[in-house]
Amino acid sequence: MLEIVIAGGWLMTPIVLCSVLAVAIIVERFLALRRSRVVPHGLPDQVQRWAAQEELDHQHIEQLRLSSPLGEVLAAALEHRDRRREVIKEAVEDTGRQVVHSLERFLNTLGTIAGITPLLGLLGTVIGMIRVFSAIMLHGVGDPNEMAGGISEALITTAAGLSVAIPSYFFYRYFRGLVRDYVLQMEAQALNLLQAIEHGQISRQKFHGRGNG
């Protein structure tokens, strides 16, 4: 493997670095975008239970906010539940934008890697072919070793660039789709909570925790 990297020339260095960075981002996003971490099952039911038991105090709302991205969105609505619908909706939207930005962390970098690594491979192809034609000009077609070196460099960098770009682009699209799916789920849960507040299923009064007066 090391021999192949060396044979690919100096352009293999940025391609290898891009591959390492892409793998790190993919692993990190797989862990960060787990469904149980972003939109935990049963969280809206927990909010309903707290509301029924009149336990929607600051402590429980803060616990909700720290639990997950969905919890952040629901907590934003609950914090402003004594306000008008427009105010609650604006608070949810502001929080939602921050949550989406967090969920899309590093995805632009992954998309950039998917875009530039084929270009690096193409550049390696051009440099390799330049070497081939330079060898032909200097030595004619009688020195196959000089020609083989340039052709080898061209093919290796092209293959390496595509090998990094294809999985990077696949996971970039996969994670973007996953984030969109989570956003739709959070919007639906926030809308359900807003309707529950309007219909009186969740009191607009802000309860105080025990011992807070």
pLDDT digits (tens, 9 = 90+) for 85-121: 888 899 999 999 999 999 999 999 999 999 999 999 9
In this structure, what is the dihedral angle of CA atoms 36, 105, 78, 61, given to the nearest 10 degrees?
Answer: 60
Of 160, 159, 157, nearest in space to 130 by CA: 157
Across the range 197-201, mean pLDDT stands at 73
Question: What's the whole-number mean pLDDT along residues 198-212?
Answer: 58
Q: What pLDDT sits at residue 210?
A: 43
Query: Is 161 within 8 Å of 119 (Cβ atoms)?
Result: yes
- At 148 the pLDDT is 65
Task: Say yes or no to pLDDT of 209 above 60.
Answer: no
Q: Taking the domains of the chain in order of start, what are their residue ranges?
A: 2-198
Q: Using alpha carbons only, what angle is made at residue 26 by residues 20 and 32, rounded to the nearest 5 degrees? A: 135
Q: Rounded to whole angstroms, what are the CA distances from 11 to 122, 130, 164, 177?
A: 10, 14, 13, 32
pTM: 0.82
